[in-house]
Chains A and B, each alone.
Chain A
């Protein structure tokens, strides 16, 4: 009987691995097609700017950045956002009743005064206490919203959506560093789309190790510290292969909360962010898709790999574990809350391809990996391991993971998604991360995911703890 279980388990896992490999190869192929499309459709920055700058048709955008206890970085961050090059935008900073001097600093620095504002509470958020604008003409784009403490970023973002007056909004974190041309490149996809564009995603990257000058990343580099270096590789793989591939068939599963553009109207009609969700960005996008599909409306989703948003990643194991446990809970929430979308042809490629893939290879994978690991220990203890076969299977998985990471570098090299200061050094670090990842980083992530699932099942109260920022290298 044990032997039968052993064989069934071994063949199920082998079949699962083959499916996973096939899925990755398909995504690589799709992302390559998406790149070819980008080559033809995305002109150089100067041309985009030339066509859009002077046109009254260029859509206006609101940039929403919730802030809570950010007194150390708030002024630098707002100044960084203000450097965005775009003809028509407003910046909405939402202060979530910070207990430090965040609000006072903003008032002092930008000469803010309270203004009357007619706010329709279109999406649920904690009450807004006041809206402030600057008396200085230089900061006329800035709107600061002071609201009752909600405790979650989603609540702050919703307050920003309630205040925003433009057709499109970008949701970002106050500590993110955005490229000056980011909005132009993203909006190019909006003006160039024949279907209503409801969301545009950007590439998120680690700012740890980058040199920042006056709120701009002047020297892009792969972090030298251990965990951010692995995360950089993981982010590049996720954005340049997985998400880019899905965007090719209009089935993007996620627009990152770090920097994503949305259609305000559709976001409002689908209820905005869910303040109780642990994965509010995926949740909102799926609700937007549900809304569009249920109303028989056509839509488009896109990812622009050439738009980079730099954010500081967790530098220590403790912070990383906390973040990944939270993400795993978020994924569980998504799977349980949006289960009607899974394998449902009514929701198009997202329903029949992306979400099943997410379920099979991202949700179940940590559980299978853990069970495989335990099974392996049992086999070692009972002396039932065929070592040569085990090495070959392990070798296949290892070489395949290296191959995928090489593809990421190849894509990055072709797309010029990131303007590395030194390509050789950066790729060297990425190769090092590639070689070490399966032994160091991946087991940690698997463990954290399983802990996250367990906490969701036993219903432990989720606490949102912000990452402790060390700050990036700065040059004034």
Chain B
């Protein structure tokens, strides 16, 4: 428009301008005119007010929901589809991913445990995940060196695997390789590589939870729950190191982790059990995701299934104990019955906790 818009023209446009139903040129004309005209300004304010109220009463269009979910999916993948036994793992991977997305550049270099910074811890998780993945023919990067006896019990709480020096050495060796590989890359690449591999692992899992991994007598379900456990414990390590609060797993994800920790107790204690006769112990874990278990201690099933000792504690505290993150001597637990045996159980709980 070359000349100043006439009052009458603008005045007639105020209604459609207020609800955004005019052309851009007309809107320009209105706004050019408003500062010079008191009566139009007052009318525009009034009509805009009505439009505001209309806006507040307008529901979002139905198609927007799908658009929002689609956009969200592009920005962060949902938990990977997986068999039911692996849901805790897929969820904890997602939680760690959420945590890592909160970190700024300098936070990635904060020391977490040992001499590992955040990036190293993620590389370690990728290394141990990769040992399980490789056994399911899921490609891992960098490729595993030929002949490595992959185990993937992936402690802490690595459970029912025979904890041998070989396994620890394999995890340690693979961790060194992956940390070396990842340190040469930006942290964001490490996060992405770890997540992509974890999702590939989820998709590569067999439907049958009793599928046994080659080389070691370990059910895939136990190996994967152990991965969930370690992912959670290390996520908590990272959160603590950078001064953030990590929410605990949802109850339905916590339960299989706690159950694996409880089922590992007999084997953990087995190292020092010796020739003592078998007995039953009751473990009560309080809080959402907890439960009650009776476990037999000793080489054979106990002759009397009445527990000689009862151990009760918070389920999350138990998991952190089993993960080597609590001191058995000071952790909050109520032991009734054979107190000495109860203390022995608490002391044995972290037996499988590793790096």
The yes or no verdict on A and B being binding partners is no
Q: Which residues of B contact A (CB under 8 A)?
A: none
